[in-house]
Each structure stands twice: as structure tokens, then as C-alpha cells.
Amino acid sequence: MVELRITVTFKKTVEDSEGSSVLKALRLLGYENVTDVRTGKVYFITLSKGNRKTAKEFCEKLLANPVINECAVDE
């Protein structure tokens, strides 16, 4: 079995409005030392067989929009 962790985030050039809202809230709570917040999703997928190439296919076909997202795969 192969256990994968796939992280999907916005590309650095894409505005992350949820991250901006969290940053604003943290600053309002007094955490002035926080300079940036980026959000994303994490998927935990277990394969009976397969590899990183299979996971990249998941990203390309379903989990991420290649125009605005980056996808990282960890085993």
C-alpha cells in the first residue's frame, strides 16, 4: 500500500482571499508579527498499488486547476 499526502495551494501569483481574511483577523487579534497567510487543501489518499505518477494524474485531472493551483505530493 502507498499512502500519499497531496497538498493543493494557490500559485504565488494568485490572490488568496481566504488567506487575506485570516491575516486581517490575526492582526486584529494582536498578532502583528504575522506577515502572510496562504490557504490550501490537503488530501490523504491510500493506494493499493501505484506511485507518485498516479498521484500527479489525480492532481491534473481532478484535485487542482493548473491555471491557479500548485500541487505537491508526499509519500
pLDDT(52) > 80: no
- Rounded to the nearest integer, the mean pLDDT of the chain is 93
pLDDT(55) > 90: no
Distance CA 24, CA 34 (A): 10
- 51, 2 contact by CB (below 8 A): yes
> Can you give the pLDDT at residue 66?
94
pLDDT(30) > 80: yes
Alpha-carbon separation of residue 68 from 9, 30, 62, 65 (angstroms): 8, 31, 13, 6
The mean per-residue pLDDT over the stretch 19-40 comes to: 97
pLDDT tier for residue 16 given thresholds of 50, 70 and 90: very high
Domains, the chain, ordered by start:
2-74 (3.30.1280.10)
> Can you give the pLDDT at residue 74?
87
Residue 64 in grid coordinates: 487542482
- 26, 11 contact by CB (below 8 A): no
